[in-house]
Structure 1
Amino acid sequence: MSINSLKIVGGVIFILMGQDMLQARLVRTKVDKADVDAYVNDISITPLAIPMICGPGAITNGIVLMESTTNFMEKIILIVVIAVVLMLTYIVLVNSAKIYRWIGPTGNNVLMRLMGLIVMVIAIEFMVSGITPIIRQILKISP
């Protein structure tokens, strides 16, 4: 497994997530009312946002970014940036009800679609940066 393959797979995951966000779809599963009630009342179930916050896309992104660092200082900076993002995510999640009341359902849909577009752009960048070295290696083109 190479980092380039990981970039391509991460790009595909981000494309799928971005497409769902762009179309304002949160969940694709079909469940009946009884399953929803059991899900809501089960304390062991994680919130729906967790797969996007710390799912395969986030993990792939972390691995790719850590692999692209060239020295110890860049690794420290990346870890600090990840900690800052985690803190900002915590603040947003704690205040999500207030934020939703402030922006309303229309603002929420607009932001979700905008973020979906941004996630898809990141996905394309991941895929291109993963495919380019593989194509160069196949065609024996030096960088």
Structure 2
Amino acid sequence: MRVWGRSWRRWSISAMCCYKPDETSRLIYRPRRHRKWKGTGRNSFAWTDYRDLAVRAHIQLGTPIILIWDNLNMHRTAGLRQLAADHDWLTVVQLPSYAPGLNPAEGVWALLRRGPLANVASADDEHLERTLRRGLSHIQRHPELVRADSCSS
């Protein structure tokens, strides 16, 4: 998502839809604002950001994790493969190519696009950040929105 204005800005959001038997589903997310000045700096998540998200999810949930990832090139890096090999609490499964219907996080993005971000013209990136966080917090407070069957529709 880009915000036009005084400079190039970009937001990246990574989210995990978490499911445990006999418990309510949960959404764990990490937004990141990127400021790109004359080609310096990254304008997307690095593999270390995904690593940190998986580690924080493991700590927060207190349980082993089966991480089901789409085929984003960053999800298939050697560093993330090594993370899974080094930790017995992490199992990584890759989704088949072009299978957004199997990825519950795609449902989260659809909820955001149809809800809080629909027809929003942000005056600045702080307004966009508040709108994003409010929408994601709403989804977190309503676990029925993160259910696997509701996200994949």
Q: TM-score range by the shorter chain?
A: under 0.3
Larger Rg: 1
**TM-score when normalising by structure 2:** 0.26
Higher RCO (C-alpha under 8 Å, 6+ residues apart): 1
Indicate the structure with greater strand content: 2
Q: Please report the TM-score for the alignment, with normalisation by the length of structure 1.
A: 0.27
